[in-house]
Amino acid sequence: MPQASPFDWSASPVAEQIEYLRGLAPESFHQALIEYDWALAPEPVLGWAMAQRGIDLCTALSVFFNGDPGRFNYIPKPHVPEPYRGVARVLDNICLRVNSGFYLIYPGKLPCCQHRLSKWLSYQQADRDEGRRGRWMLDERILEPMLQDDLRLPRDQAPVNKPRPSLWRDLLSPLIGLGVDRDVLKYKDRL
């Protein structure tokens, strides 16, 4: 976990860990999830945390790869050793949420695990070519907008002094901007 944090993760029970995470600001919360030690209590703590709204796809992928999914990817569920079944369940849930589009894509944000993700996707393609299938198959269609950074306007067209992106602002923008955001209208001829 974060070195600057006075919170002792290894000496705290699960309820205190979750309570501590609840009190963190969004960026600190995401960073704490990325740095969480999977040897502690991943099923109750990460299981709860990864089900929260507002977690972005980059954070979710970083947490997923920190759980080292490769060690269980080709082991059938019943053959996963008992001490690691909780870890495998958390990885199952993260993968399901990634593939369902539960985690949001923040424009301009790339995963810090870009190398591991690329490697995973290349192994996944090799498995498909050979007629195999691992336990966790990440849906490339869900990942594509993040990897191509398709959701961000080009830098020369990016609005200046734009408020921080949020789901509520996106949902309410038709009401706020009377149908279409005025910043988008400025650039409609260039798109």
pLDDT tens by residue, 95-113: 999 999 999 888 777 778 8
Helix (H) or strand (E) holding 180: none
The pLDDT of residue 8: 83
In 3D space, the residue among 44, 46, 26 whose CA is nearest the CA of residue 36 turns out to be: 46
pLDDT confidence of 161, banded at 50, 70, 90? low
CA 19 to CA 28: how far, in whole Å?
14
Q: Which two tokens stand for residue 121?
A: 């996707």
CA 187 to CA 143: how far, in whole Å?
26
pLDDT confidence of 153, banded at 50, 70, 90? very low
pLDDT tens by residue, 37-69: 998 888 999 999 999 988 999 999 999 999 999
